[in-house]
Amino acid sequence: MTGSGGPITIMKYKILFTVPSALVAGVVATAVTVGDGPLLDLRDRMLGTDTRNPSRSRQVAASPGAVQPARWKPGMREWGVNVYYVNSPRDDEAHVRAKAQRMMRYLVSLNANAVSINFPFRMAGPTSSEVGAIPRRTPTPRRLGIVLREARAAGLRVTVRPLMDETNLVRTETEWRGAVQPASRDGWFASYRTFLSPYLKVAADEQAATFVIGTELNSLQADRRWRGLAAWAQRRFPGELSYDMNWDSFRTDRRSVPFRRIGLDAYPPLGLPDDATVKQLALGWKNWLDGMHDGRPSRILLSEVGIAAQTGAYSAPGDWVNRRRVDQTMQARWYTAVCWVVRKNNMRGLYWWMVDFDTDPANADPERSARLSFAGRPKTEQAIRTCFRGRTPERHPTVTPTRTPQQ
Protein backbone atom coordinates (compact mmCIF):
# COMPACT_ATOMS: atom_id res chain seq x y z
CA MET A 1 0.00 0.00 0.00
CA THR A 2 1.32 3.44 -0.86
CA GLY A 3 0.34 6.94 0.12
CA SER A 4 0.71 10.32 -1.50
CA GLY A 5 4.24 10.62 -0.17
CA GLY A 6 5.40 7.31 -1.64
CA PRO A 7 6.15 3.95 -0.04
CA ILE A 8 8.15 3.56 3.14
CA THR A 9 9.76 0.17 3.77
CA ILE A 10 9.82 -1.23 7.29
CA MET A 11 13.34 -2.65 7.33
CA LYS A 12 12.94 -5.14 10.15
CA TYR A 13 11.01 -7.25 7.72
CA LYS A 14 13.36 -6.43 4.84
CA ILE A 15 11.10 -5.18 2.05
CA LEU A 16 8.24 -7.44 3.00
CA PHE A 17 5.66 -4.68 2.98
CA THR A 18 5.23 -0.94 2.62
CA VAL A 19 3.31 1.67 4.57
CA PRO A 20 2.27 5.19 3.67
CA SER A 21 4.92 7.78 4.41
CA ALA A 22 2.20 9.93 5.92
CA LEU A 23 1.59 7.26 8.54
CA VAL A 24 5.26 7.07 9.46
CA ALA A 25 5.52 10.85 9.53
CA GLY A 26 2.57 10.96 11.90
CA VAL A 27 4.22 8.47 14.22
CA VAL A 28 7.45 10.47 14.29
CA ALA A 29 5.71 13.80 14.78
CA THR A 30 3.79 12.37 17.71
CA ALA A 31 6.96 11.19 19.41
CA VAL A 32 8.90 14.37 18.78
CA THR A 33 6.40 17.08 19.55
CA VAL A 34 4.16 16.02 22.36
CA GLY A 35 5.99 13.74 24.76
CA ASP A 36 4.68 10.82 26.71
CA GLY A 37 0.94 11.16 26.29
CA PRO A 38 0.85 10.52 22.53
CA LEU A 39 3.33 7.66 22.94
CA LEU A 40 0.71 5.98 25.09
CA ASP A 41 -1.95 6.61 22.45
CA LEU A 42 0.33 5.30 19.70
CA ARG A 43 1.04 2.09 21.57
CA ASP A 44 -2.64 1.54 22.34
CA ARG A 45 -3.51 1.87 18.67
CA MET A 46 -0.76 -0.55 17.63
CA LEU A 47 -1.56 -3.16 20.29
CA GLY A 48 -5.31 -2.74 20.30
CA THR A 49 -5.44 -2.23 24.07
CA ASP A 50 -6.55 0.43 26.50
CA THR A 51 -3.94 0.65 29.22
CA ARG A 52 -5.15 4.03 30.39
CA ASN A 53 -8.17 2.55 32.10
CA PRO A 54 -7.13 -0.67 33.86
CA SER A 55 -10.57 -0.98 35.45
CA ARG A 56 -11.96 -1.97 32.06
CA SER A 57 -10.14 -5.28 32.28
CA ARG A 58 -11.42 -8.11 34.40
CA GLN A 59 -9.40 -8.19 37.61
CA VAL A 60 -7.89 -11.11 39.47
CA ALA A 61 -6.86 -11.39 43.08
CA ALA A 62 -3.65 -9.51 43.86
CA SER A 63 -2.61 -11.72 46.76
CA PRO A 64 0.39 -14.00 46.13
CA GLY A 65 -0.49 -17.53 45.08
CA ALA A 66 1.18 -20.79 45.97
CA VAL A 67 4.47 -21.47 44.21
CA GLN A 68 3.97 -24.11 41.52
CA PRO A 69 6.42 -26.88 40.59
CA ALA A 70 8.86 -26.00 37.83
CA ARG A 71 7.33 -26.63 34.42
CA TRP A 72 10.73 -26.53 32.72
CA LYS A 73 13.94 -28.35 33.65
CA PRO A 74 17.39 -28.29 32.03
CA GLY A 75 17.42 -30.35 28.87
CA MET A 76 13.76 -29.73 28.10
CA ARG A 77 12.64 -27.83 25.04
CA GLU A 78 11.51 -24.26 25.76
CA TRP A 79 7.86 -23.76 24.85
CA GLY A 80 7.37 -20.08 25.53
CA VAL A 81 5.50 -16.86 24.91
CA ASN A 82 6.77 -13.29 24.56
CA VAL A 83 4.86 -10.97 26.87
CA TYR A 84 5.26 -7.27 26.08
CA TYR A 85 5.20 -5.26 29.30
CA VAL A 86 4.83 -1.49 29.11
CA ASN A 87 4.18 0.29 32.38
CA SER A 88 0.72 1.75 32.87
CA PRO A 89 1.20 4.89 34.98
CA ARG A 90 -2.17 4.51 36.71
CA ASP A 91 -1.39 1.02 37.98
CA ASP A 92 -0.23 0.62 41.55
CA GLU A 93 1.93 -2.34 42.50
CA ALA A 94 -1.06 -4.44 43.55
CA HIS A 95 -2.54 -3.94 40.10
CA VAL A 96 0.73 -4.92 38.44
CA ARG A 97 0.76 -8.09 40.53
CA ALA A 98 -2.86 -8.85 39.61
CA LYS A 99 -2.14 -8.47 35.91
CA ALA A 100 0.96 -10.63 36.23
CA GLN A 101 -0.99 -13.39 37.96
CA ARG A 102 -3.70 -13.25 35.32
CA MET A 103 -1.14 -13.45 32.53
CA MET A 104 0.82 -16.33 34.04
CA ARG A 105 -2.35 -18.35 34.59
CA TYR A 106 -3.16 -17.79 30.93
CA LEU A 107 0.26 -19.00 29.81
CA VAL A 108 -0.02 -22.08 32.02
CA SER A 109 -3.44 -22.77 30.45
CA LEU A 110 -1.65 -22.79 27.08
CA ASN A 111 0.74 -25.48 28.41
CA ALA A 112 3.72 -23.09 28.22
CA ASN A 113 6.79 -23.89 30.29
CA ALA A 114 8.61 -20.59 29.63
CA VAL A 115 7.98 -16.86 29.30
CA SER A 116 10.04 -13.98 27.93
CA ILE A 117 9.21 -10.63 29.53
CA ASN A 118 9.89 -7.88 26.98
CA PHE A 119 9.97 -4.20 27.99
CA PRO A 120 10.86 -1.06 26.04
CA PHE A 121 13.68 1.44 26.24
CA ARG A 122 14.62 4.15 23.77
CA MET A 123 17.16 6.23 21.91
CA ALA A 124 16.38 9.88 21.27
CA GLY A 125 17.15 9.31 17.60
CA PRO A 126 19.05 6.96 15.28
CA THR A 127 22.39 8.74 15.86
CA SER A 128 22.03 9.33 19.59
CA SER A 129 24.86 8.13 21.82
CA GLU A 130 22.56 7.53 24.78
CA VAL A 131 19.82 5.09 25.65
CA GLY A 132 17.41 5.18 28.55
CA ALA A 133 13.99 4.56 29.96
CA ILE A 134 10.86 5.98 28.34
CA PRO A 135 9.34 8.22 31.03
CA ARG A 136 6.30 6.58 32.62
CA ARG A 137 6.35 3.75 30.06
CA THR A 138 9.47 1.71 30.81
CA PRO A 139 8.75 -0.44 33.90
CA THR A 140 10.90 0.32 36.89
CA PRO A 141 13.16 -2.50 38.08
CA ARG A 142 10.91 -2.88 41.12
CA ARG A 143 7.78 -3.36 39.00
CA LEU A 144 9.59 -5.70 36.64
CA GLY A 145 10.60 -7.69 39.70
CA ILE A 146 6.93 -8.17 40.62
CA VAL A 147 6.23 -9.66 37.20
CA LEU A 148 9.30 -11.89 37.28
CA ARG A 149 8.35 -13.14 40.73
CA GLU A 150 4.86 -14.12 39.59
CA ALA A 151 6.24 -15.85 36.50
CA ARG A 152 8.62 -17.91 38.58
CA ALA A 153 5.88 -18.69 41.10
CA ALA A 154 3.85 -20.13 38.21
CA GLY A 155 6.70 -22.56 37.54
CA LEU A 156 7.78 -20.92 34.27
CA ARG A 157 11.30 -20.55 32.95
CA VAL A 158 11.88 -16.77 32.86
CA THR A 159 13.73 -14.66 30.29
CA VAL A 160 14.22 -10.90 30.63
CA ARG A 161 14.34 -9.09 27.27
CA PRO A 162 14.85 -5.30 26.93
CA LEU A 163 13.62 -4.22 23.49
CA MET A 164 14.53 -0.90 21.87
CA ASP A 165 11.40 1.05 21.01
CA GLU A 166 11.37 2.34 17.43
CA THR A 167 9.11 5.37 17.83
CA ASN A 168 12.02 7.81 17.61
CA LEU A 169 13.89 5.86 14.94
CA VAL A 170 11.62 5.35 11.93
CA ARG A 171 12.06 8.52 9.84
CA THR A 172 13.19 7.12 6.50
CA GLU A 173 12.78 3.80 4.73
CA THR A 174 16.09 2.46 6.04
CA GLU A 175 15.72 3.32 9.73
CA TRP A 176 14.74 0.88 12.48
CA ARG A 177 16.45 -0.49 15.59
CA GLY A 178 18.77 -2.55 13.42
CA ALA A 179 20.14 0.49 11.60
CA VAL A 180 21.08 2.85 14.44
CA GLN A 181 24.44 4.61 14.10
CA PRO A 182 25.39 6.25 17.41
CA ALA A 183 27.67 9.26 16.99
CA SER A 184 29.85 7.81 19.76
CA ARG A 185 29.83 4.07 20.20
CA ASP A 186 31.85 4.37 23.40
CA GLY A 187 29.15 6.68 24.72
CA TRP A 188 26.33 4.40 23.56
CA PHE A 189 27.74 1.27 25.19
CA ALA A 190 28.52 3.17 28.41
CA SER A 191 24.96 4.51 28.49
CA TYR A 192 23.57 1.05 27.77
CA ARG A 193 25.50 -0.35 30.73
CA THR A 194 24.00 2.29 33.00
CA PHE A 195 20.50 1.47 31.79
CA LEU A 196 20.91 -2.30 32.05
CA SER A 197 22.55 -2.38 35.48
CA PRO A 198 19.42 -2.28 37.72
CA TYR A 199 17.56 -4.66 35.42
CA LEU A 200 20.38 -7.19 35.55
CA LYS A 201 20.24 -6.94 39.33
CA VAL A 202 16.49 -7.55 39.57
CA ALA A 203 16.79 -10.43 37.08
CA ALA A 204 19.46 -11.96 39.32
CA ASP A 205 17.45 -11.33 42.49
CA GLU A 206 14.36 -12.99 40.98
CA GLN A 207 16.39 -15.90 39.58
CA ALA A 208 15.58 -15.39 35.93
CA ALA A 209 17.12 -18.08 33.73
CA THR A 210 18.17 -15.83 30.83
CA PHE A 211 18.84 -12.15 30.21
CA VAL A 212 18.82 -11.03 26.57
CA ILE A 213 21.57 -8.43 26.36
CA GLY A 214 20.59 -7.20 22.89
CA THR A 215 17.87 -7.72 20.31
CA GLU A 216 17.95 -7.05 16.56
CA LEU A 217 20.73 -4.43 16.70
CA ASN A 218 22.14 -5.41 13.30
CA SER A 219 24.29 -2.32 12.78
CA LEU A 220 26.07 -2.83 16.11
CA GLN A 221 26.41 -6.62 16.13
CA ALA A 222 30.01 -6.80 14.94
CA ASP A 223 31.23 -4.22 17.45
CA ARG A 224 34.08 -5.40 19.68
CA ARG A 225 32.48 -3.67 22.68
CA TRP A 226 29.93 -6.50 23.07
CA ARG A 227 32.64 -8.68 24.57
CA GLY A 228 33.35 -6.21 27.35
CA LEU A 229 29.64 -5.65 27.92
CA ALA A 230 29.05 -9.41 28.16
CA ALA A 231 31.84 -9.85 30.73
CA TRP A 232 30.52 -6.91 32.76
CA ALA A 233 26.94 -8.22 32.65
CA GLN A 234 27.96 -11.74 33.66
CA ARG A 235 29.45 -10.40 36.88
CA ARG A 236 26.04 -8.96 37.76
CA PHE A 237 23.79 -11.71 36.47
CA PRO A 238 24.80 -15.33 37.13
CA GLY A 239 22.32 -16.83 34.70
CA GLU A 240 22.50 -17.29 30.95
CA LEU A 241 23.21 -14.29 28.72
CA SER A 242 21.75 -14.22 25.23
CA TYR A 243 21.58 -12.12 22.09
CA ASP A 244 18.60 -12.32 19.72
CA MET A 245 19.24 -11.72 16.02
CA ASN A 246 16.80 -10.60 13.38
CA TRP A 247 16.29 -13.25 10.71
CA ASP A 248 17.91 -11.20 7.93
CA SER A 249 21.31 -11.20 9.70
CA PHE A 250 21.32 -14.56 11.47
CA ARG A 251 23.13 -16.56 8.82
CA THR A 252 25.98 -14.11 8.29
CA ASP A 253 26.44 -12.46 11.69
CA ARG A 254 25.75 -15.06 14.35
CA ARG A 255 29.46 -15.69 14.94
CA SER A 256 30.14 -12.01 15.54
CA VAL A 257 28.53 -11.71 18.97
CA PRO A 258 30.21 -13.30 22.03
CA PHE A 259 27.28 -15.24 23.45
CA ARG A 260 26.76 -18.99 23.59
CA ARG A 261 22.99 -18.57 23.34
CA ILE A 262 21.82 -16.76 20.23
CA GLY A 263 18.13 -16.52 19.44
CA LEU A 264 16.54 -16.15 16.01
CA ASP A 265 13.67 -13.68 15.53
CA ALA A 266 12.01 -15.32 12.55
CA TYR A 267 9.47 -13.85 10.11
CA PRO A 268 10.33 -15.52 6.80
CA PRO A 269 8.16 -14.47 3.83
CA LEU A 270 7.12 -17.74 2.27
CA GLY A 271 5.04 -16.13 -0.46
CA LEU A 272 2.34 -18.79 -0.27
CA PRO A 273 -1.35 -18.15 -1.00
CA ASP A 274 -3.81 -17.61 1.82
CA ASP A 275 -5.22 -21.12 1.39
CA ALA A 276 -1.83 -22.81 1.77
CA THR A 277 -1.97 -26.03 3.78
CA VAL A 278 0.00 -26.76 6.93
CA LYS A 279 2.11 -29.18 4.88
CA GLN A 280 3.00 -26.46 2.39
CA LEU A 281 3.85 -24.05 5.20
CA ALA A 282 5.96 -26.64 7.01
CA LEU A 283 7.92 -27.42 3.85
CA GLY A 284 8.44 -23.72 3.25
CA TRP A 285 9.76 -23.31 6.78
CA LYS A 286 12.04 -26.32 6.41
CA ASN A 287 13.54 -24.99 3.20
CA TRP A 288 14.07 -21.58 4.79
CA LEU A 289 15.69 -23.02 7.91
CA ASP A 290 18.05 -25.14 5.80
CA GLY A 291 19.76 -21.89 4.83
CA MET A 292 19.91 -20.55 8.38
CA HIS A 293 22.18 -23.08 10.07
CA ASP A 294 25.41 -25.02 9.64
CA GLY A 295 23.82 -28.44 9.61
CA ARG A 296 22.86 -28.37 13.29
CA PRO A 297 19.31 -26.98 13.47
CA SER A 298 18.99 -28.37 16.99
CA ARG A 299 21.12 -25.43 18.16
CA ILE A 300 18.55 -22.88 16.97
CA LEU A 301 16.09 -21.24 19.36
CA LEU A 302 13.25 -19.28 17.79
CA SER A 303 13.33 -16.41 20.26
CA GLU A 304 10.55 -14.58 18.47
CA VAL A 305 8.19 -16.16 15.96
CA GLY A 306 4.64 -15.40 14.96
CA ILE A 307 2.41 -14.05 12.22
CA ALA A 308 -0.34 -11.51 11.80
CA ALA A 309 -3.84 -12.99 11.82
CA GLN A 310 -4.83 -11.42 8.53
CA THR A 311 -5.04 -12.09 4.83
CA GLY A 312 -1.79 -11.88 2.88
CA ALA A 313 0.25 -12.76 5.95
CA TYR A 314 2.19 -15.63 4.40
CA SER A 315 4.02 -13.04 2.29
CA ALA A 316 4.53 -10.60 5.20
CA PRO A 317 4.32 -12.48 8.52
CA GLY A 318 5.55 -9.60 10.67
CA ASP A 319 3.38 -6.83 9.20
CA TRP A 320 2.14 -4.97 12.27
CA VAL A 321 1.29 -1.75 10.40
CA ASN A 322 -1.33 -2.70 7.82
CA ARG A 323 -4.69 -3.99 8.98
CA ARG A 324 -6.27 -6.33 6.50
CA ARG A 325 -9.18 -8.73 6.97
CA VAL A 326 -8.76 -10.90 10.07
CA ASP A 327 -8.08 -14.56 9.31
CA GLN A 328 -7.56 -16.71 12.40
CA THR A 329 -7.20 -19.90 10.38
CA MET A 330 -4.13 -18.59 8.58
CA GLN A 331 -2.49 -17.73 11.90
CA ALA A 332 -3.33 -21.13 13.39
CA ARG A 333 -1.92 -22.98 10.38
CA TRP A 334 1.35 -21.04 10.63
CA TYR A 335 1.68 -21.85 14.34
CA THR A 336 1.00 -25.53 13.68
CA ALA A 337 3.56 -25.69 10.88
CA VAL A 338 6.26 -23.95 12.92
CA CYS A 339 5.70 -26.31 15.84
CA TRP A 340 5.97 -29.32 13.55
CA VAL A 341 9.28 -28.05 12.15
CA VAL A 342 10.70 -27.34 15.62
CA ARG A 343 9.89 -30.89 16.73
CA LYS A 344 11.12 -32.59 13.57
CA ASN A 345 14.43 -30.71 13.74
CA ASN A 346 14.78 -31.20 17.49
CA MET A 347 15.28 -27.45 17.92
CA ARG A 348 15.79 -25.79 21.31
CA GLY A 349 12.31 -24.31 21.36
CA LEU A 350 10.27 -21.28 20.44
CA TYR A 351 8.69 -18.15 21.91
CA TRP A 352 5.51 -16.94 20.22
CA TRP A 353 5.13 -13.22 19.56
CA MET A 354 3.08 -11.92 21.33
CA VAL A 355 0.59 -11.07 24.01
CA ASP A 356 0.41 -7.66 25.64
CA PHE A 357 0.78 -7.62 29.42
CA ASP A 358 -2.39 -5.55 29.86
CA THR A 359 -4.55 -7.93 27.83
CA ASP A 360 -7.34 -9.76 29.58
CA PRO A 361 -7.28 -12.99 27.53
CA ALA A 362 -10.77 -13.98 28.64
CA ASN A 363 -12.22 -10.80 27.13
CA ALA A 364 -9.90 -10.23 24.17
CA ASP A 365 -11.71 -9.33 20.95
CA PRO A 366 -10.30 -11.43 18.08
CA GLU A 367 -11.48 -8.84 15.54
CA ARG A 368 -9.97 -5.79 17.24
CA SER A 369 -6.86 -7.18 18.90
CA ALA A 370 -3.41 -6.47 17.51
CA ARG A 371 -2.91 -8.62 14.44
CA LEU A 372 0.28 -10.23 15.79
CA SER A 373 -1.41 -11.16 19.06
CA PHE A 374 -3.06 -14.54 19.53
CA ALA A 375 -5.01 -13.83 22.73
CA GLY A 376 -8.73 -14.41 22.26
CA ARG A 377 -8.22 -16.19 18.93
CA PRO A 378 -9.42 -19.70 19.77
CA LYS A 379 -7.97 -21.53 16.77
CA THR A 380 -4.50 -20.16 17.42
CA GLU A 381 -4.78 -20.76 21.15
CA GLN A 382 -5.70 -24.37 20.47
CA ALA A 383 -2.76 -24.72 18.08
CA ILE A 384 -0.47 -23.49 20.88
CA ARG A 385 -1.98 -25.87 23.44
CA THR A 386 -1.58 -28.81 21.09
CA CYS A 387 1.98 -27.84 20.27
CA PHE A 388 3.06 -27.28 23.86
CA ARG A 389 1.31 -30.43 25.03
CA GLY A 390 3.53 -32.51 22.77
CA ARG A 391 0.79 -33.92 20.61
CA THR A 392 1.86 -32.53 17.27
CA PRO A 393 1.48 -35.55 14.96
CA GLU A 394 4.41 -37.00 13.04
CA ARG A 395 2.55 -36.42 9.81
CA HIS A 396 1.64 -32.89 8.79
CA PRO A 397 -1.48 -31.93 10.77
CA THR A 398 -4.34 -29.87 9.43
CA VAL A 399 -6.36 -26.91 10.65
CA THR A 400 -10.01 -26.74 9.61
CA PRO A 401 -10.92 -23.41 7.97
CA THR A 402 -13.55 -21.19 9.48
CA ARG A 403 -15.35 -18.21 8.03
CA THR A 404 -14.01 -14.93 9.45
CA PRO A 405 -16.10 -11.74 9.29
CA GLN A 406 -14.86 -8.84 7.19
CA GLN A 407 -12.93 -6.20 9.16
pLDDT at residue 247, as a whole number: 83
Fold of the CATH domain 7-52+74-389: TIM Barrel (3.20.20)
Separation of CA 194 from chain center? 23
Contacts of 322 (CB under 8 A, 6+ apart): 1, 17, 19, 310, 316
- Is the per-residue pLDDT at 26 higher than 60? no
Ramachandran angles phi, psi of 19, nearest 5°: -130, 155
pLDDT at residue 64, as a whole number: 54
Each residue's pLDDT tens digit, 192-230: 999 999 999 999 999 999 999 999 999 999 999 999 999
Each residue's pLDDT tens digit, 330-347: 999 999 999 999 999 999
- Is the per-residue pLDDT at 9 higher than 80? no
DSSP-derived pairing of the beta strands 114-123 and 240-246: unpaired
C-alpha span between 354 and 351 (Å, rounded)? 8
- Is the per-residue pLDDT at 177 higher than 80? yes
Contacts of 33 (CB under 8 A, 6+ apart): none
The total of other beta-carbon atoms located within 10 Å of residue 178's CB is 23
**Domain limits of the chain?**
7-52+74-389
Task: Give start and end residues of each alpha helix (H) in 184-294.
Answer: 185-205, 225-236, 250-253, 278-290
pTM for the predicted model, two decimal places: 0.82
pLDDT at residue 300, as a whole number: 87
DSSP-derived pairing of the beta strands 157-164 and 114-123: parallel
Half-sphere exposure of 319 (CA within 13 A, CB side): 24
The total of other beta-carbon atoms located within 10 Å of residue 363's CB is 11
